[in-house]
Structure 1
């Protein structure tokens, strides 16, 4: 494979990395819950979750490979991907919505996200984000508000 050169990236510009390392595709997870099945409530929850993921990971939309959202069957007022597509810089990001598998006794009104991104950071440096009642899915990763 030919050697490629890439322009300076946000991580390099912020001084987080002193030496160049190999970039990899990593997975970034998050989840939140919605109080009611309305366009407004779903949009607010998706924006809150993506804001937290972007802030806590210095996420650059230009480095996102793809994003998959899943929603529990009780959320059908709007696609979470439609909300994400309105975000600045997210217009060209490949987005997909799927329905979360229905498991007896599982968390309801829940939106999950899996973001594949290019990053020089190791997997254990990414800050997965679980908000609202979704914090019970991964208490070890939940952000306290």
Structure 2
């Protein structure tokens, strides 16, 4: 029986450009799909947040370019601003249906966003041969 789970993730960009944001969002989604063996039919909805310094393009607009993502409900929100928080950051919450146990979900934090959750970063669960 399938259950509803959330997959979290985040990444950062160096500059506020469409190209930089597209590259970061695609890398984040590719990595989440790979490590969670996601089928787009299992995705219920996706929420993206971006810090206020990222306004060149909506992350959801980039996600809609992906094969079979045009039917998934996507939402962009501005991340709450907190002084001294991580800049140029895009966060994601993907709701999925899955027959698997929650322990099999891999949350993905890339680039400078690894510092947000070092306890569950890919670096902490992957063997050295898979790190780059």
Normalised TM-score (structure 2):
0.92
The CA deviation string for residues 11-61 of structure 1, in whole angstroms up to 9 with x for no partner, is xxxxxxxxxxx2101000000000100000000000000000000000111
SS state of the match for residue 42, structure 1? helix
The match for 1:73 among 37, 48, 52 is: 52
Give 5+ residue unaligned stretches, structure 1: 1-21
- 2:21 aligned partner: 42
Q: Which has the higher helix share?
A: 2
SS state of the match for residue 78, structure 1? coil
SS state of the match for residue 127, structure 1? coil
Distance in 1 separating the partners of 2:94 and 2:64: 14
- 2:65 aligned partner: 86
- 1:24 aligned partner: 3
The CA deviation string for residues 107-130 of structure 1, in whole angstroms up to 9 with x for no partner, is 000000000000011112100000
Runs of 4+ aligned residues of structure 1 deviating over 3 Å after TM superposition are: none
Distance in 2 separating the partners of 1:125 and 1:63: 15
Give 5+ residue unaligned stretches, structure 2: 124-131
1:52 aligns with 2:31: yes
| Displacement after TM superposition at 1:89 (Å) | 1.0
| Displacement after TM superposition at 1:143 (Å) | 2.3
The higher relative CO (CA closer than 8 Å, separation ≥ 6) is in 2
- 1:119 aligned partner: 98
Normalised TM-score (structure 1):
0.84
SS state of the match for residue 35, structure 2? helix
Between structure 1 and structure 2, the one with the greater Rg is: 1
